[in-house]
Amino acid sequence: LDQNHGSVLEHVYVSYAIINASRSYLAQQTRHRMFNYTSSSQHYIDHSDMSDAEVPVEIIELNDPEVLDVYMRGYNSAKEAYNTLVNKYKIDHAVARQLLPNAQRNVLVVTANLRSWLNYMNQRICFRNTSEIMYIAKLLRDDLKELCPTVVEYMVPDCILKGHCS
């Protein structure tokens, strides 16, 4: 790695199941094209029994019940509209899913080679990301530290590696 020979990392594959992250996390994660994904389906699954929302830490940290209430009312309104379409109007859940909010929790299985994980960490541990993305990236990095401690020391934001924010 010190000599910029990352190709040897392409022979090591690591998979993770990421459970209860938001659908908006899924949208950001899939920007990494060298990863393989399996995600819970919104097309084939009826989400009438939608679980609770993923509440961003930025909202929780405000410690303001009114802000949390606005957030949850928005989520619950979408959930109620979805259920009304599916249950009352018999709209196929594959059509009604368009109403499902990004805060809906998701199950995602992600597989990539170690070079791709390194690139992911360089981008996603950066403070320009949402707290959810940074938190998950740090959990993954902590786990990778057990598997490949030598590589993890390079899993830092790009700005640290380059000496400036790009």
pLDDT tens digits, residue range 53-80? 899 999 999 999 999 999 999 999 999 9
User: For residues 141 and 148, what is the distance between their CA atoms, to the nearest angstrom?
Assistant: 10
pLDDT-derived band of residue 118, with 50, 70 and 90 as boundaries? very high
Predicted TM-score (pTM) above 0.75: yes
pLDDT tens digits, residue range 17-46? 999 999 999 988 888 888 999 988 888 878
**Of residues 52 and 95, more confidently modeled:** 95
**pLDDT value at 4 more than 80:** no
pLDDT tens digits, residue range 139-150? 999 999 999 998
| Contact between residue 139 and residue 155 where contact means Cβ atoms under 8 Å apart | no
Give 104's contacts (C-beta < 8 A, 6+ positions apart): 22, 23, 47, 50, 51, 53, 54
